[in-house]
Amino acid sequence: MKLTILRLYRRYRENLIYGGYIAVIAVFAPAVAHLLGTGWEASQLLQSLTELVIIAGGEPGVVILAGFGFVAGLLGLMLVDYKKRWQAVAITIGFVIVVGQLLAAGQLIPPDTAVDDLVWALPGVLLGGVVGGGLQIARLQSLGPQEFRAAPRVLYLTTGVVLVLALVETHLSYPPLLEVTETGVTVLSPDPSGIEIVPESAGAHLLITAVAVGTLRRFTRYDANEEFFVLGPPASGKSLLLIGAYVEALKDIRGNLRQSEALDPSQDLMELVENLDRDDSEWIVEATGRGELRDLEFEYVSGTLLPQKVSISALDYAGEHLTRLPDVLARREENPGPELGQIAEGVAESTTLIMLIDGERFLNDEGLGLAEYFEILDEIGDTNVILVATKADIFADMFWEEHEQSPQEDFSAFQSFVEERLTQSEQFASLLRQTPSAEVHPVYYETVFNDNGERVPYRDDRDQVVTVGFKQLLEKLGQ
């Protein structure tokens, strides 16, 4: 039962999170409307500024209408941008609730506003479209899916400023600063003794502002704030891990919306991927040699309802460097050399370490070579850790024998199966205890035995290698 619930959560995690955001917006939007209305009624300076249009013969309400139009223009661009489309739908729901509440209460926009005055929202829509980057639509050609990164950024900043001003106006009482008439503006000299703080409901309003700004911040973010770095013993599959992840990302972008999405792979990665086209049955890459350092990097979009761009950047290095890495991180080795120094810098700057567990070593009773991991964990502090079991094809055979199904049919069960087997190693069990929040993610290339009894990559009818577990790993990295 527990495994079934966990499996369902992993499958529908993004849907649940998105539904949670919708619920938060539906609950807090009326409170945001109340805060805006209260701040507007209590304001002195803001109302005076909107009344400046009186000098030009206009009505103060047209400024509010233009502001609503500005927000609508930004939301329109986000609806066009597939990476922000569903976020824009959620924000639009909140926007409609807020505007509806304000109209019903007769706040911000006077109840006697004529329908003809609604035309003043159009300049705001146009301004929002231009400021949000809408001129990109006029381009005849595009190198990829249309993005309007300025639109969510401007929406976030604008909404944040408006909410903070409403909070200040609600809880800060002060004398009038300006007097606006049809003939001009008079700057008044307020009495400082008339300034006072109004503490009533301040805590609730702070909470409302924080939730609204935090939700918008999550919805307006394009790129994941994560830096990944791969660690592994010699010949543990660091190169094959990055190649397999790239191949899986390529499969994903062949969908309708992402077929033009650029993965921006590094040159070193592409040189390794070229080996996939070799028409033979050998392994597609050799272990990284001593003194060799490869920069393996690419980007991919993770998620559907809440998509964000994830950048995977790793230095592929000879595993022998791992034995000296703890001394460099602890500053016990003063002159590590350029290669080891670059590796130590990558570890120190990463937000998530991907630690490889060599499944072949475990099954051959060769020792996992994880001794250095423990001291590295002590040095890096609060850095997140993801444990990846490479070469898990042998575990797949064992899983089939016991469960009579392939790992692809029930990957969660296979994941638990691999973790259970690996914990038979006291070294791995200790590592798992030191990283209690980490899960084991098995990945492998499907293999067959050649004439010499050696495992070699299996190629399908299209002469392509078959990877397993990399999709789940990419989803994990994109969370």
Classify burial at 360, counting beta carbons within 10 Å of its beta carbon; exposed 0-12, middle 13-18, buried 19 or more: middle
Q: What local confidence, expressed as pLDDT, does residue 235 receive?
A: 77
Residue 121 and residue 119: Cα distance in Å, rounded?
A: 5
- Number of other residues whose CB lies within 10 A of the CB of residue 137: 12
- Over its C-alpha atoms, the chain yields an Rg (Å, rounded) of 29
69: left (phi over 0), alpha (psi -120 to 50) or beta: alpha
Q: What local confidence, expressed as pLDDT, does residue 140 receive?
A: 43
Residue of 149, 138, 151 lying closest to 75 (CA atoms): 151
Q: What local confidence, expressed as pLDDT, does residue 256 receive?
A: 46
Contact status, residue 146 vs residue 128, Cβ threshold 8 Å: no
Domain positions in the chain: 14-219, 228-477
Amino acid found at 60: P
The domain 228-477 having CATH identifier 2.60.40: the answer here is: no
Contact status, residue 295 vs residue 209, Cβ threshold 8 Å: no
What are the DSSP calls for 228-282, one per residue?
EEEE--TTSSHHHHHHHHHHHHHHHTTSTTTTT------HHHHHHHGGGG--SSS
The tokens of 196 are what?
């006072």
Q: What local confidence, expressed as pLDDT, does residue 246 receive?
A: 87
Classify burial at 469, counting beta carbons within 10 Å of its beta carbon; exposed 0-12, middle 13-18, buried 19 or more: buried
CA atoms within 13 A on the CB side of 75: 20
Per-residue pLDDT 10s for the chain (479 aa) are 555 665 666 677 788 888 999 999 999 999 999 998 888 888 777 777 776 665 655 566 677 888 889 999 999 999 988 888 899 999 999 999 998 888 887 766 666 555 566 777 888 888 888 888 877 775 544 545 577 888 999 999 999 999 998 898 888 877 777 666 666 666 777 667 667 888 888 889 999 999 999 998 888 887 777 778 888 887 788 888 888 888 888 877 655 445 456 678 888 888 888 776 665 556 666 655 566 677 888 888 877 788 878 887 777 766 667 778 888 887 887 777 777 888 888 888 888 888 898 888 888 888 788 888 888 888 887 778 889 999 888 888 888 888 888 888 888 889 889 998 888 888 888 888 888 777 889 999 888 887 777 777 777 777 778 888 888 888 888 76
Residue 36 and residue 29: Cα distance in Å, rounded?
A: 11
Contact status, residue 90 vs residue 219, Cβ threshold 8 Å: yes
Helix (H, G, I), strand (E, B) or coil at 404: coil
Ranges of H-type helices in 106-237: 121-131, 150-171, 202-219
For 131, 256, 383, the CA distances from 158, given in Å and listed in that order, are 12, 33, 33
